Structure formats: C-alpha cells, structure tokens
C-alpha cells in the first residue's frame, strides 16, 4: 500500500491494487473507535444494457437491486446474522451507478472484513430463493408506487429523459423482476462483481497493509472482461416531455421541476461542474437567497421546498421540488429569476458564504469514516478522488454558478412533474 500525503488537509491516503484489479483505499484515523469498510461495485440501477464478448445483453430493470438483496445468503450461513453477532452494523444499498456493501464496528474488524469480502465475492442463488425474493421486493415496489414523494421524482426522470435508464426505478417493476432468474443473477455477478470492477475503502484506526493482506486472501477471483455500458442515445439539452401529472392521495400538490446537466468527459471538469451546479442551485433559490425569502413570505412555497442536483451515470439533474398550491407559479418564478440572473454585490457576498459553507462541510466530512469511504468509492468510479475536492471548490467563481443557473433553469430546458390530490382540481 502506497501512502499519499495531502498537506493542505493533513490526511494520508493509502492506495493499492491487487493483481486481479481490485482497487483498495485506506484512510487511517488514529484514535478513532469506529472502524468502517465499504466494498462497492460499479454497477447500479442504470447498468441494464451492456456489451460483452462482442454481444449486446439486455437485463431486466431492478436486477442490480435484486442482486444486492440476495448477496447476504450463503450456502452455510447468513452474512447479516454473522456480522451483527460480532457487534457490527452491516448494510447495503443500490444507487443508479453503484452497489455498495458496508459495515461499521468497534471490535472484530478483521473478522467482519473477511466475512464481507467472502459473501460479496461468493454468489449463491436458487430458483426457490429467487421466487421468495420476488415476493419481498414486490412489496417494496408496491410501497414505492404508493409513495407520492418517489412518484413525483421518478415521473420527472421519465419526462426529462428519452432513453437514459434512469427513466426506470432502481428497484424495477413487478413485470421486470418476474423475469429475473438464478442464472441471470449468476451472470450479472460474474460480469459486474469482477474485482477489476470493484473498490474496497476502509477508514478508522486500522493498518492499511493488514487490509490489503486480508483482501488478497479473500478476493481470489481473476479480473474479468470490462463490459461496455449503454446508457441510451445522446439526450441533448431539451426534455422529452414538458409536463407529466399523476393523481394520488395527497392533501396538497407535490411538484418537481428540473433539467438535464450535460455530461463532461473530463473527470475533474465534471466534478467541478457538479460543485458549481450545487452552489448555483443554492444561489438561485436556496434558503439564504432573496428568491426563496420572497416566495416563502408570500406563501408560494413552504419548508418542504428544496433545490439541488442529483448525479447519474454520464448525466446529472438539477431539481427543485416541494409541496405547494401553485406548482406552475413556482416554476415560472424560478425560470424568470434564472433568465435575468446576474452577479451583483449581494449575489457575490452570498456566493462567498455558500462557498465557505461547502468548504466547511467538506472539511467536517474528513472526521466521518463513513463519508471518507463512500466518497472515495464514488470518486474512484468517477475518476476524481475526494481529497482533490478542496482545490476544485476553491477554483469555482461566482460567474460559474451564475452560468449554470441561467442554463439549467431556462424554461425550454425544464420538465415539470406534478402529483395532484385525487379529489382536487388540477394544479394551476
């Protein structure tokens, strides 16, 4: 494991790579009682179509999430039960572009690390267990379909994108998961859980060389062929649909409006754009902005209103959402403000405060072993490690954020998703 010292942060990152391609990052935190490990695959809800061995393969929506659910079952033990019995807190999640397995503990770190690496690397599925899981995940799907907060965001993605797989829910549909078999899971595990497609990140009062030695012993699979991923046709800046509506049991309309953020191939520039986008969203209509204050004081929005960005594989989305009586009026106010947005003394002062807050939040995250592991996995998959973020944030100018505002919230680029009350009038 080779150390890399970041003087500005007073942090050391240990980095290594096994012969089979597994990347390892360890961030030691001397004196910390909590230890954390994160084992992640670059495989998420959007990785449904890929090319392997010269052949294109299509898989059902929800399969990455389904596979994550099944990985805790081993032929002779349940990994979750074993790790909790040792006093650890294991968990897992599936995002749009990543699946992660994790645990935190104060004792028995080596034993828990061995167990996690073992069960994530060892697929074990039967048709009977797959059918049982289809019922369990089916309940989760029905809950999501009845959750207006999830529906309003998923419908926004359906309106924004023509072909990007983010149009479909990460957990899939009842129809899509019915097509998942044990063999499908084995195939996807072999392809995407290859060591060369994964990263292990650990932090706490731990020995980097010890982590690497355990990984060398437990992750024995050879490097696999890297699949070519297909995230759909080039989208372009305009949405597929301007507006999409649904009716559900809500007391007041829910809305989400947003636009697509065009992907940049350079990892550092893409990271810089996402930071500038986040600052831009806050500058336009965050809680410290004059627009937010005006809309809130007039009763147009309430405390449910929020604005920010969401990153996706080879894309991102700028989103404003909340509950209010007049969703379209909020959209109009946002687009009108964005169209005439300029950096004056008031905006410059707010930008400086927002930038200092972003830097403060970044520095505070250095004391979280969980944050360190997750951001290093995400950064590795995206091509830009988080200890570079401080320099990137410092480079961003107010006009960078203003340019994003004028582009992202221009009316022609916006889609609007609304969930209306069942018995109420359509949103105005």
Which is nearest to 316 in space by CA: 166, 423, 211? 166
CB atoms within 10 A of CB 205: 15
Which residues, other chains included, contact 315 with Cβ-Cβ below 8 Å and sequence gap of 6+? 161, 164, 166, 231, 235, 260, 261, 262, 263
Q: Are 277 and 408 in contact (CB under 8 A)?
A: yes
**CATH architecture type of domain 243-421:** 2-Layer Sandwich (3.30)
Who's near 139: CB < 8 A, 6+ residues apart? none
**Nearest in space to 408 (alpha carbons), one of 294, 317, 297, 312:** 317
Pairing mode, if any, of strands 415-421 and 254-261? antiparallel
CATH architecture under which domain 2-229 falls: 2-Layer Sandwich (3.30)
DSSP string, 65-116: HHHHHHTTB-SS-BHHHHHHHTT-EEEEEE-SS-EEEEEEESS-HHHHHHHH
Mind listing the pLDDT tens digit for each residue in 330-362? Answer: 999 999 999 999 999 999 999 999 999 999 999
* Among 272, 311, 310, 308, CA closest to 400: 272
Q: Matching CATH topology for 2-229 and 243-421?
A: yes
Per DSSP, the chain holds a count of helices (H) and strands (E) of 15, 15
Which pLDDT does position 224 carry in this prediction? Answer: 86
Residue-level pLDDT at 424: 52
Residues classed as catalytic: 68
Question: Which has the closest alpha carbon to 348: 336, 356, 360, 339?
Answer: 356
Tokens (6 digits) for 289: 């902005």
pLDDT tens digits for range 86-127: 999 999 999 999 999 999 999 999 999 999 999 999 999 999
Residues of the chain with pLDDT under 70: 424-428
Q: Is 366 helix (H, G, I), strand (E, B) or coil?
A: coil
Determine the pLDDT at residue 77: 87
Domain spans of the chain?
2-229, 243-421
């Amino acid at each position: 494991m080779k150390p890399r010292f970041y003087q500005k942060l007073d942090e050391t990152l240990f980095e290594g790579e096994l012969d089979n391609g597994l990347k390892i990052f360890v961030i030691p935190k001397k004196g910390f009682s909590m230890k954390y490990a994160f084992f992640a695959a670059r495989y998420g809800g959007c990785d449904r179509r890929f090319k392997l061995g010269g052949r294109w393969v299509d898989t059902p929506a929800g399969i990455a999430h389904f596979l994550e659910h099944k990985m805790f079952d081993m032929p002779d033990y349940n990994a979750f039960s074993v790790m909790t019995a040792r006093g650890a807190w294991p968990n897992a999640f599936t995002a749009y572009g990543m699946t992660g397995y994790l645990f935190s503990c104060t004792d028995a770190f080596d034993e828990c690390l061995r167990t996690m690496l073992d069960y994530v690397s060892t697929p074990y599925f039967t048709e009977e267990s797959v059918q049982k899981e289809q019922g369990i995940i089916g309940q989760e799907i029905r809950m999501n379909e009845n959750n207006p907060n999830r529906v309003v965001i998923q419908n926004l993605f359906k309106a924004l994108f023509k072909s990007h797989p983010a149009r479909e829910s990460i957990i899939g549909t009842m129809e899509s998961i019915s097509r998942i078999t044990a063999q499908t899971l084995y195939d996807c595990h072999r392809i995407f859980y290859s060591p060369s497609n994964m990263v292990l990140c650990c932090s706490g009062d731990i020995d980097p060389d010890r982590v690497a030695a355990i990984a060398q012993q437990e992750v024995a699979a050879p490097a696999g062929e890297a699949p070519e991923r297909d995230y759909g046709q080039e989208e372009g800046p305009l949405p597929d649909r301007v507006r999409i509506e649904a009716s559900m049991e809500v007391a007041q309309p829910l809305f989400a409006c947003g636009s697509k953020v065009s992907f940049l191939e350079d990892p550092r520039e893409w990271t810089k754009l996402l930071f500038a986008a986040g600052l831009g969203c806050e500058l336009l209509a965050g809680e410290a902005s004059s627009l937010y204050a005006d809309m809130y004081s007039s009763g147009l929005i309430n405390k449910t209103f929020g604005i920010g960005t969401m990153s996706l594989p080879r894309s991102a989305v700028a989103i404003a959402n909340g509950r209010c009586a007049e969703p379209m009026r909020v959209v109009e106010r946002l687009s009108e403000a964005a169209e005439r947005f300029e950096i004056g003394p008031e905006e410059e002062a707010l930008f400086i405060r927002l930038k200092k807050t972003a830097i403060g939040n970044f520095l505070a995250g250095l004391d979280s072993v969980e944050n360190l592991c997750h951001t290093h996995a995400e950064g590795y998959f995206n091509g830009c490690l988080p200890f570079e973020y401080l320099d990137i944030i410092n480079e961003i100018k107010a006009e960078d954020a203003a340019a994003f505002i004028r582009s992202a919230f221009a009316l022609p680029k916006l889609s609007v998703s609304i969930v209306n009350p069942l018995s109420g009038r359509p949103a105005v």
